[in-house]
Every structure is written in structure tokens, then in C-alpha cells.
Structure 1
């Protein structure tokens, strides 16, 4: 069975949770990273949903591509579907990515479904920061998710201005409340 690729743009970059043979920075064209998904499981609750990342149409997104051994295909796909398709706000897609070494590969990824009730695009920065600051779920505080993602992006030399602004606004709000 052939190896396959998985593209991560959020927590998958720093917490893939599956075995892989190779990890490379990659760019996916046609979609951009966005805090556009209400999270009522991992980073929020039904009463107080948090915000997590999704891929929205337009632009491009830098992230990480993982090459998974063909022998691990079924368990990795099962794991990813259990993790990413909890509420079906994401749609599983196989999309071309450009790897940092110049290769182009087809990679499995998860894009936001704009017709899903948890989709919430075009939030003003202050509203997004307020939600992130005040939500927590099964995987911990929403702010940890945003700050970890920003830190890992920066460690790879990737800048995401909007995500960085949300993180900075949350940190300032916390400092002002202290």
C-alpha cells in the first residue's frame, strides 16, 4: 500500500497524534487558515463555545505535511476521522500541497463547511479574542490552542497576522483584567 500525506494547519502541526515517516513545511493553495469554527467539544462547551481553526476558500495556507506509511493508512485515517469529524463541521479533502523541498504531493486535509451551524466566518478581531479568552473544553483552555498554534508557526518562520493579533489581544485583555 502506498504512503500518503496529511496536511495540518492548526493543532495537527504540533500534536499530530499519529505515526509518520516524514514531516515538511508545506503550502496549500486555494484555502486560508481562519478562526472560523465554533468548538463545543475540544476548546469550548455547548454553553460557551470556543474558536478553532478551519480552512476557508481563498488565498493560501502554510502548514505542515506529514508522510504516513502505507501500512499505517487505515488506522491513521480512522484516527483523523474520529478527531476531525466529531460534528462534521469539516469536510475531508485531498488537495495538492507544495512541499518546502519543491515536491508537489496530494494530501488529506480538513476544510471548513460554511453551511454547517458551527461555522462562523468573518468575526471581528475583538469578538474572536473575547471568545478565545473565555472558552475552555475537553482539551483545555481555548487560549492555549491559539497561543500554541502561533508559537509553532513562528518557530517554523511562518507568520499569520490575524492569528497573532487574536493572541496578542487576548494576552492584553488578560493583563488588563489582572
Structure 2
């Protein structure tokens, strides 16, 4: 990836509804071997060190449908700098090149960010009620944690997908 060739970025959380960079094409895609999980304790974007929020990470196992963006090769340096500044703030994610299957056919390599299970911000599997309690009170540089979770669920539904665990978290948020 790089040079003058177009490249792909795979988003599974806020990049689905708010990529923040220019792209040539946007398509839903599936990544095998990882699933979307509200498993990262956010100290910056959706919480603080004193009151961390929860954001998504790609965690081992299963598969994840997200959004793939084809970016012009001429924008490689600027887009990668933007993504690294956004995703690697506390280094809870590791940048990876992965193979994704585009909806409608075809596979491409894409840049994405996978959770580092050894990082102190990795929260692991959290009960839906506990996750909702954390999300309700957290607010970070990018806004309220509730907004992040509800936007994510809206976009997941727009892709025609269900996420029963996240839907349970959202139901607790409405109470």
C-alpha cells in the first residue's frame, strides 16, 4: 500500500459514520477473524482517565461487517497521518493490513486498527448492563459516549445487520 496506487481503509466503529477523510469509493465489507467489540476503555475521545468511556475495538474471533473506503494513492500520506493521529492516540490499537471481502464480490487489502489485548485500556468482554452504566456517564474530546454508541448502532442497522449485545446496551441506555 502506498505510492501512487489507491488503497483501502476498513472502518468498524466511528469510521463507519465519520471517516474524516476524502475517499473515492465507499462499500460495505466483511473482515474474517475479528469481531466488533465495545472493549476499549476510552481515555481521550469518549471519556477521560478519571471516567473512561467505551469504544469499539476489533477483537479476535468471528467476523465483522464494516465500511471499506477506497482512497486515492495521492492522498496516502495525508490520510495515514490523519488515521494514526486519530486511532493511535494511546496505542491501544495496532495498525494492520488485512484482507477484506467487499459486498458484491472481490477481496482487497485494507488498513485497519485491531485492539491490543495486552494494553491497559483493553476491557475485554463486558456485561451489557455494565457497559451501559459506563457509557451513560462518559464524555471525552469527541463528545458523549452515548452518542458514539447510538450512532454506531444506527449505522450497523443501516447496513442491514443486527448486533443483539449492542442492542441490549442501547436498551439499557434508554432507561
* TM-score, normalized by the shorter chain, greater than 0.5: yes
CA distance in 2, matches of 1:6, 1:158: 20
Match of 2:16 among 13, 17, 20: 13
CA distance in 1, matches of 2:71, 2:58: 21
Superposed CA deviations along residues 100-150 of structure 1, whole A, max 9, x for unmatched, are 020100010000000000000011111111001111111111000000000
TM-score where L is the length of structure 1: 0.95
Q: What is the deviation of 1:95?
A: 0.5
**Structure 2 counterparts to residues 48-87 of structure 1, below 5 A:** 48-87=51-90
CA RMSD of aligned residues (A): 0.7
2:99 is the alignment partner of 1:96: yes
Match of 1:150 among 138, 150, 153: 153
Gaps of 5+ in 2: none
Q: Secondary structure in 2 aligned to 1:120?
A: coil
Runs of 4 or more, structure 1, over 2 Å off, are none
CA distance in 1, matches of 2:164, 2:8: 27
Gaps of 5+ in 1: 173-178
2:124 is the alignment partner of 1:121: yes
CA distance in 1, matches of 2:159, 2:59: 22
Q: How many residues align?
A: 172
